[in-house]
Amino acid sequence: MSPDHHDRVAPSCEDIAALARAAIEDLPGPFAKAARAVALRIEDFADEQMLAEMEIDDAFELTGLYDGIPLTEKSVSEQPLRPDAIWLFRRPILDEWAARGDVTLKALVAHVLVHELAHHFGWSDAQIARIDEWWT
């Protein structure tokens, strides 16, 4: 007897974090090491301030956000006000995953994470495409 779909529990913030950490470990060596230095934050949704700054009305439209100064713009003489962080938003990610139906949650979390890491590293589209096969 198969379980009723009502008995299923949606992946938690901790589940999304575990998938993101696994995606970081799958990055090429030098990038994985540098990506581990970026704080990883998982929330159900972006807060109102983030949405306003991004000029987004619907919280389901934002799956991830890089908050920091890209490595290509950092100065060793400046002290950061806060650590660089990547925010992943669980509910929009799950909504996209369910709507697509053609990708694993692991692959979608990795895709969102790589997109946000691209902002941190200052990657070009060609560099992103070498790491994320979805990027075209």
Domain count across the chain: 1
Domain-located, residue 27? yes
Tell me whether residue 76 is in a domain: no
pLDDT band with cut points at 50, 70 and 90 for residue 2: very low
Q: Shortest CA distance to 114 belongs to which of 98, 104, 129?
A: 129
- Is 14 inside any structural domain? yes
14-39 residue pLDDT tens: 999 999 999 999 988 888 888 998 99
Rounded CA-CA distance 90/41 in Å is 10
Measured in degrees and rounded to the nearest 5, phi and psi for residue 65 equal -155, 135
CATH of the domain at 43: 3.30.2010.20
Residue 3 has pLDDT above 70, yes or no: no
Residue 5 lies in a domain: no
Query: Does residue 21 sit within a domain?
Result: yes
pLDDT band, residue 1 (cuts 50/70/90)? very low
Mind listing the pLDDT tens digit for each residue in 59-112? 999 999 999 877 777 666 666 677 889 999 999 999 999 999 999 999 999 999
Sign of CA dihedral 19, 103, 63, 85: positive
**Percent of the chain clearing pLDDT 90 (strictly above):** 58
Residue 78 lies inside a defined structural domain of this protein: no
- CA–CA distance from 108 to each of 4, 95, 102 (Å)? 25, 11, 10
Per-residue confidence (pLDDT) for residue 82, from 0 to 100 = 74
100: helix, strand or coil: helix
What is the average per-residue pLDDT within 112-132?
Answer: 80
Q: Higher confidence at residue 63 or residue 10?
A: 63
pLDDT band, very low/low/confident/very high, at 5 (cuts 50, 70, 90): low
Does the residue 113 lie in any domain? yes
Using CA atoms, how far apart are residues 53 and 87, in angstroms rounded to an integer? 14
pLDDT tens for each residue of 41-60: 999 999 999 999 999 999 99
